[in-house]
């Protein structure tokens, strides 16, 4: 049966309409509303005052720096550790399926719940981690993970890495399994070492997977909220005050709706920059490695 | 067959309709509170519903953290919705919420003079914003010092009064190696820390913000000294475990009740729990007294306290029911019940003279004097921000990221900026 093009387009929109409507309501509308809050003041006049205030707000720059630091550190750690775990889980061994399932548990847990768990683990007076470090004589006294500014940053990084490594490993594992076995066999015939196979075959062929994973992870890391809110609420001081908790505080605690919306707009800008950057890397690599 | 189904349909519709009529008789009002751990709320509501047939109160138990409950109410109000018709409101919520127009002014429904006549002054003062009443007060909190009577008596020392005496005694009596610390308080970066710090700030002759003159005074030498004392509890005198930085009210109470501290700063609710809790190791060993103060000053207690406020977005026909409940919570009967079940330090004066109450908690005799002399946190719509600034820089000083002087100067700078921004827009 031949369908007319106009009918085809009609049905196309019909079938897409639920998705389009939901995206309009839950994505586009809040974004537009946010922008309006950021540029229209209480009297209904257009103003750039809130952007200006945000740019002159040291707390905003502090939060930006913390967010960028958090994103780069966690994403790099997750990529490296996730890659190693993906290789391990890709190896053939007994009980591989069971291991893969168990391995996914951290990712399956809701962040707020796992963060409460980590809060308990990090607590100084009774938490197992500080005391284990102390008993194993790594530290002179049980360290204060959640109340020391430097350590609290370490704590949120550890918790985030623990949660997200399985996700990264899962994506990379899928990429690994898409590499045809024959390529390894032919490298075997040419007498390549295991290391050589990794460097010259596995990693180049995984680049598309890496890029998708990086994209996912950066977007999420830039919006990190629940983990920090449960573990430290941005404290001590504002040592772990990433952008999302800062915006939340601004809007819902201080009721500075316009200022919060302006800050949110800048956060969106950061994310756009990251996406463009990754796209740029992607096109550059495309020239080198062909289709990605 | 067709007739039968028509009949069934009719019967169904009729049932629904009659149910609707039955429901319509009752007015249901929702109430946002914290977790009802002792069941006191369910008892109060049952009593209220018995006395007021036709009104149903639906309890919504929010999270324990008061900041979170405040945000729940803020979020709903931003959407101009009233999922919580009555909100159990802290004294400091009134200025910001009333200023935004999210609370119903109830001056036309309640008699202010009567409120003043039967309650302590501070909780009623704190329920008023720009000449209108927004809340019926029900409890009246004040910061207190609890101490281990047995340890002080054994060492033959009198309860210290001034800061200097206190630091000496606490250092002398503590024994951290064996798990006995000198002093614990609410040290987490939140409202509780601010409440405690203000007592030391005032007791040392300083002030944070004056809502009348709109002046910020937190960078004065006296204020810096108060911050220094706070930092010294952890780092110089070492009478406080550094873990205090994660303590809220409950953590510090548990710490004290498990016999691990000589002194505790907390609210009046601790008294009855420390004497009745199964877990408590300090039964019969606890003394209570006002806060410490500098030589030549006098002790201050931060005023806290809760009461019933009503959402601006409540449906019109529910207002009367909500007011009834708000006033009920301040009635003799309800207040006494709250005390008997939960040991609440209620807002009504006459409860503190009730023989049955005094028999159960003799300490109420002292408490009524303290409650007459409390001080509030600055009443201003930007208090949430000022409080956040204060707790943030105090934490920076307590974790030694800043010296007390730097911290207080930054506090003053940011507070002045916030005040200017708010009033110049």
Q: What is the pLDDT of residue A262?
A: 92
B384/A253 Cβ within 8 A: yes
- B392: which chain A residues are within 8 Å (Cβ-Cβ)? 235, 237-238
Q: How confident is the model at residue A221 (pLDDT cuts 50, 70, 90)?
A: very high
Specify the pLDDT at position B13: 58
Closest-CA distance, B381 to chain A, in angstroms, reads 9
Global ipTM = 0.70
Cα B359 to Cα A55, B27, B149, B351, B353, distances in angstroms: 61, 39, 20, 12, 10
3-state secondary structure of B179: coil
- A250: closest CA of chain B, how far (Å): 9
- Kindly report the nearest CA distance between residue B347 and chain A, in angstroms: 27
B146 against A237, higher pLDDT:
B146
pLDDT of the residue at A192: 81
Contact A223, A272 (CB under 8 A): no
- The Cβ of residue B332 has, within 10 Å, a number of other Cβ atoms equal to 13
- CB-nearest to B388 from A144, A149, A253 is A253
| pLDDT tens digits, one per residue of B17-76 | 555 444 556 899 999 999 888 889 999 999 999 999 999 999 999 988 788 899 899 999
B68-93 as b/e: b if 16+ CB within 10 A? ebbbbbbebbeeeebebbbbbbbbbb
- Using CB atoms, which residue from B71, B245, B401 is nearest to A252? B71
How is residue B66 written in tokens?
């008061």
Distance, CA of A66 to CA of A83 (rounded, Å): 25
Instruction: Find out whether A38 and A265 touch, Cβ atoms under 8 Å.
Output: yes
Supply φ then ψ for residue B353, to 5 degrees.
-110, -5
The pLDDT tens digits for A98-154 are 888 888 899 999 999 999 999 989 887 778 898 888 889 888 878 888 888 888 999
Q: Does domain B142-303+382-423 have CATH number 3.40.190.10?
A: yes
Please check whether residue A270 is in contact with residue A246, taking contact to mean a CB–CB distance below 8 angstroms.
no
Distances (CA, A) of B232 to B144, B163, B266, B301, B404: 20, 12, 19, 21, 10
| A238: closest CA of chain B, how far (Å) | 7
Q: What is the 3-state secondary structure (H, E, C) of B340-377?
A: HHHCCCECECHHHHCHHHHHHCCCHHHHHHHHHCEECC
Q: How far apart are CA B391 and CA B397, in angstroms?
A: 10
Q: What is the mean pLDDT of residues B114-141?
A: 91
CATH class given for the domain over B2-140+305-375? alpha beta
pLDDT above 80: residue A226: yes
Query: CA-CA-CA-CA torsion for B134, B137, B143, B146, nearest 10 degrees?
Result: -160
Q: Which chain B residues are within 8 Å of A236, Cβ to Cβ?
A: 189, 245, 395-396, 398-399
Cross-chain Cβ contact B396/A233 below 8 Å: no
In angstroms, rounded to a whole number, what is the distance separating the alpha carbons of residues A225 and A246? 9
- Tell me, yes or no, if A255 comes closer than 8 A to chain B by beta carbon: yes
B161-205 pLDDT, tens digit each? 999 999 999 999 999 888 899 999 999 988 899 999 999 999 999
**Quick check: B78 and A254 CB within 8 A?**
no
| Domain boundaries of chain A, sorted by first residue | 59-289
Question: What's the pLDDT tens digit per position in B223-268?
Answer: 999 999 999 999 999 999 988 988 888 889 999 999 999 999 999 8
Using the Cβ of A252 and the Cβ atoms of chain B, whether some distance falls under 8 Å is answered with yes
- Residue B399: pLDDT band (50, 70, 90) is confident
B142-303+382-423 shares the fold of B2-140+305-375? yes
Q: Which residue has the higher pLDDT, A292 or A40?
A: A40
| Cα–Cα dist B230/A258, whole Å | 36
Instruction: Supply φ then ψ for residue B415, to 5 degrees.
Output: -65, -40
Residue A287 has pLDDT above 80, yes or no: no
- Nearest residue of chain A to residue B187 (CA atoms): A147
User: Token pair for residue B148?
Assistant: 């281990």
CATH number of A59-289: 1.10.3720.10
Q: Judging by DSSP bridges, how do beta strands B306-310 and B135-137 pair with one another?
A: antiparallel
Q: Where are the domains of chain B?
A: 2-140+305-375, 142-303+382-423
Reference A89, options A78, A80, A98; nearest CA is A98
Number of Cβ within a 10 Å radius of residue B120: 24
What proportion of chain B, given as a percentage, has pLDDT over 90? 63
Q: Mean pLDDT, chain B, as a whole number?
A: 89
């Amino acid at each position: 049966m031949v369908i007319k093009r106009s009918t085809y387009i009609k049905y196309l929109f019909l079938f897409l309409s639920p998705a389009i409507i939901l995206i309009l309501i839950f994505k586009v509308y809040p974004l537009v509303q946010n922008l309006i809050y950021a540029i229209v003041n209480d009297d209904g006049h257009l103003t750039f005052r809130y952007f200006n205030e945000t740019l002159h707000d040291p707390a905003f720059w502090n939060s930006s720096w913390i967010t960028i630091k958090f994103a780069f550190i966690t994403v790099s750690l997750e990529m490296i550790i996730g890659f190693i775990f993906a290789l391990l889980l890709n190896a053939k061994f007994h009980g591989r399926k069971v291991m893969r399932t168990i391995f996914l548990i951290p990712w399956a847990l809701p962040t707020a719940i796992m963060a409460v768990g980590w809060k308990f683990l990090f607590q100084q007076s009774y938490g197992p981690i500080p005391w284990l470090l102390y008993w194993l004589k790594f530290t002179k006294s049980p360290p204060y993970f959640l109340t020391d500014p430097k350590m609290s940053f370490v704590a949120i990084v550890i918790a985030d890495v623990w949660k997200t490594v399985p996700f990264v490993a899962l994506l990379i594992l899928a990429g690994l399994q898409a590499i045809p076995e024959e390529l390894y066999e032919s490298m075997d015939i040419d007498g390549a070492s295991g290391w050589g196979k990794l460097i010259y075959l596995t990693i180049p062929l995984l680049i598309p997977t890496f890029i998708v994973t990086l994209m996912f992870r950066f977007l999420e890391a830039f919006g990190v909220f629940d983990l920090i809110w449960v573990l430290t609420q941005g404290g001590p001081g504002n040592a772990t005050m990433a952008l999302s908790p800062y915006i939340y505080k601004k809007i819902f605690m201080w009721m500075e709706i316009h200022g919060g919306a302006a800050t949110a707009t800048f956060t969106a800008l950061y994310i756009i920059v990251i996406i463009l950057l990754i796209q740029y890397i992607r096109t550059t690599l495309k020239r080198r490695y062909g289709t990605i | 067959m067709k007739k039968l189904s028509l009949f069934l349909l009719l019967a169904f519709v009729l049932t629904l309709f009659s149910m609707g009529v039955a429901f319509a008789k009752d007015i249901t009002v929702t109430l946002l509170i914290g977790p009802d751990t002792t069941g006191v709320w369910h008892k109060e509501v049952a009593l209220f519903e018995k006395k007021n047939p036709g009104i149903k109160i639906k309890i919504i138990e929010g999270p324990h953290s008061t900041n979170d409950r405040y945000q729940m109410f803020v979020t709903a109000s931003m959407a101009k919705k009233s999922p919580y018709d009555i909100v159990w409101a802290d004294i400091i919520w009134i200025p910001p919420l009333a200023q935004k127009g999210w609370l119903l002014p109830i001056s036309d429904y309640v008699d202010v003079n009567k409120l003043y006549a039967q309650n302590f002054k501070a909780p009623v003062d704190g329920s008023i914003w720009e000449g209108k009443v927004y809340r019926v007060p029900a409890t009246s909190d004040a910061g207190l010092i609890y101490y281990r009577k047995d340890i002080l008596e054994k060492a033959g020392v009198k309860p210290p009064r001034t800061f200097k005496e206190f630091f000496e005694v606490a250092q002398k009596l503590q024994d951290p190696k064996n798990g006995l610390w000198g002093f614990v308080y609410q040290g987490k970066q939140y409202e509780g820390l601010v409440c405690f710090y203000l007592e030391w700030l005032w007791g040392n002759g300083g002030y944070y913000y004056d809502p009348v003159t709109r002046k910020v005074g937190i960078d004065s030498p006296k204020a810096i000294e108060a911050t220094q004392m706070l930092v010294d509890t952890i780092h110089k005198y070492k009478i406080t475990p550094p873990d205090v930085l994660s303590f809220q009210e409950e953590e510090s109470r548990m710490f004290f009740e498990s016999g691990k501290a000589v002194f505790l700063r907390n609210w009046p609710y601790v008294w009855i729990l420390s004497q009745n809790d199964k877990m408590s190791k300090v039964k019969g060993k606890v003394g209570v007294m006002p806060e410490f103060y500098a030589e030549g000053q006098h002790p201050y207690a931060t005023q806290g306290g809760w009461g019933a406020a009503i959402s601006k977005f409540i449906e019109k026909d529910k207002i009367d029911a909500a007011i009834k409940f708000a006033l009920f919570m301040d009635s003799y009967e309800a207040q006494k019940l709250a005390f008997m079940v939960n040991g609440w330090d209620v807002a009504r004066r006459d409860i503190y003279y009730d023989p049955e109450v005094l028999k159960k908690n003799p300490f109420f005799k002292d408490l009524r004097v303290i409650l007459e002399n409390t001080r509030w946190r600055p009443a201003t719509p930007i208090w949430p921000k000022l409080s956040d600034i204060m707790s943030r820089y105090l934490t920076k000083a307590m974790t030694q990221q800043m010296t007390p002087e730097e911290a207080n100067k930054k506090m003053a700078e940011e507070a002045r900026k916030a005040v200017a921004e708010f009033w110049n827009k």
